[in-house]
Amino acid sequence: MTRLTATLVTDGSSDRLLVPLIELLFSQHTDRAYQVNCAEGLPPLASGLRARIDAALALFPCDILFVHRDAERVSPSVRQREIEASWPDSPKTVLICVIPVRMTEAWLIANELPIRSAVGNPNGVEPLGLPAIKDIESLPDPKELLFAALKIASGQSASRKRRFNPHPYRHRVTELTEDLAPLRQIPSFRHLETQVLEHLITLRS
């Protein structure tokens, strides 16, 4: 059985943290070996999504191209149409849209254990102030909540927390995520998983 190849086109460089989540979905839904690349060296965002997709397909040929766009201030369906309108209908590659509501960090605050583990304090008990999962997609700034939770989870003193830089630790949150059950309660992540399942079936046929 040939190896499954996938490429991720992100909104920004920090969104490469989506790669471990895509790999986790593959590990749970296919027995095939797989490789997931994050496309680099693409035209800038100002060049438009079609130019970035065309470059990704040329530089990183693959079975599945994941195209990430945060929903931000528009509905996920609008972002979906935007991505699909930029798709060149490549006969050798299938498209999967990755559309977290607001921003990628919304998916990182669904499960507290990876947050605690990311800062080396998995057994911490101090409340992290995380929202109920049902409220995650309505939050105005999930990134701010994630960074605040990482600072608390570190278990450091107040003075050390003020100097604590949470930015690099968000990548560890996804790398240490093993349980998809909390994420599956978020509609935008369920939409991603549904697409992965549908296309894995298509690629087997």
Q: What is the pLDDT at residue 162? A: 80
Residue 152's contacts (CB-CB under 8 Å, 6 or more residues apart) are 126, 127, 128, 129, 161
Domains of the chain: 4-102+182-204 (3.40.50), 104-175 (no CATH)
Q: Mark the ranges of the chain whose per-residue pLDDT is less than 50.
A: none
Q: What is the pLDDT at residue 102? A: 84
Task: Give the pair of three-digit tokens for residue 138.
Answer: 């309505």
H helix intervals, the chain: 19-29, 49-59, 76-85, 112-118, 142-153, 158-163, 169-175, 187-204
Q: What is the pLDDT at residue 16? A: 93
Chain segment 39-63, per-residue pLDDT in tens: 999 999 999 999 999 999 999 999 9
Q: Considering the chain, what percentage of its residues have pLDDT values greater than 90?
A: 80
pTM of the model: 0.93
Q: What is the pLDDT at residue 205? A: 53
